[in-house]
Amino acid sequence: MQIKLTSIFVDDQDKALKFYTDVLGFQKKHEFTAGKYKWLTVVSPEEPEGTQLVLELNENPAAKTFQQEIHRQGIPASNFFVADVQKEYARLKQHGVMFTKEPTKTTGSTIAVLGDTCGNLVQITHLDW
Rounded Cα distance, 96 and 94, in Å: 5
Distance between CA atoms of residues 42 and 129, nearest Å: 28
Q: Give 73's DSSP letter.
A: T
Q: How do residues 61-97 score in pLDDT, each as one tens digit?
A: 999 999 999 999 999 999 999 999 999 999 999 999 9
* Whole-structure pTM value: 0.94
Could you report the per-residue pLDDT of 96-123, keeping only the tens digit for each?
A: 999 999 999 999 999 999 999 999 999 9
* DSSP tag of 95: T
Domain spans in the chain, listed from the N-terminal domain onward: 5-127
> What's domain 5-127's architecture?
Roll (3.10)
CA triple 87-88-93, angle to 5 deg: 100
CA contacts within 13 A on the Cβ side of 39: 9
φ, ψ of residue 111 to 5 degrees: the values are: -130, 160
